[in-house]
Amino acid sequence: MSDTCHTFYSVTFLQLVTALSMLLLSEKKKGEKRQEEILSLVQSALDGLSARIAPVDEKGTIVLVNKQWRNFAKENQLTPDMVSEGVNYFDVCRQAEGEWSEGAMDFARGLQRILNREEELFTLEYPCPAPDKEFWFRAGVTPLPDENRNWAVVAHQDITEQ
């Protein structure tokens, strides 16, 4: 993994999220309360990060988002039904237009390569105009290692000040 990747993704974080995700999946049959405890732990771990994080399933559907993802959406007049749980990331990329569309299809192709297990890391820097400021983000996708599922973690790190 390059220095750029290490500054973008903490290996420790990825290991933690992967371990927690696998634990959640393995604990499904042990009771709803235990599953809720683990999901709460996963959510807390994600909420503690500065990047906007969204795990997606093999079809590109957003499974979970963190607090920073929700806050950014709210601050930029985006409703949860546009960019949160249950929304297909590929659809969002296809529907992007105007100022919001730069790099959207490149990102969709990169996400698909990760979900197909053709690559281990995809990153893309892109501008993101907002009502009161233009942001720059470094987006990245990494696979969640699971023999039974081809899921991935999508992250968008604000690099505007760099």
* Residue 16: per-residue pLDDT: 58
* Residue 1: per-residue pLDDT: 39
All structural domains of the chain: 3-158 (3.30.450.20)
pLDDT along the chain (162 residues), means of 10: 44 55 58 74 81 92 91 82 89 82 89 95 86 85 83 90 78
* Residue 12: per-residue pLDDT: 47
* Residue 36: per-residue pLDDT: 77
**100 in helix, strand or coil?**
helix
* Residue 6: per-residue pLDDT: 40
The Cα–Cα gap between 162 and 88 comes to 30
Structure tokens at 95: 């529907």
* Residue 3: per-residue pLDDT: 43
Q: Which amino acid is at 147?
A: E
Task: Answer yes or no: are the C-beta atoms of 9 and 142 closer than 8 Å.
Answer: yes
* Residue 44: per-residue pLDDT: 82
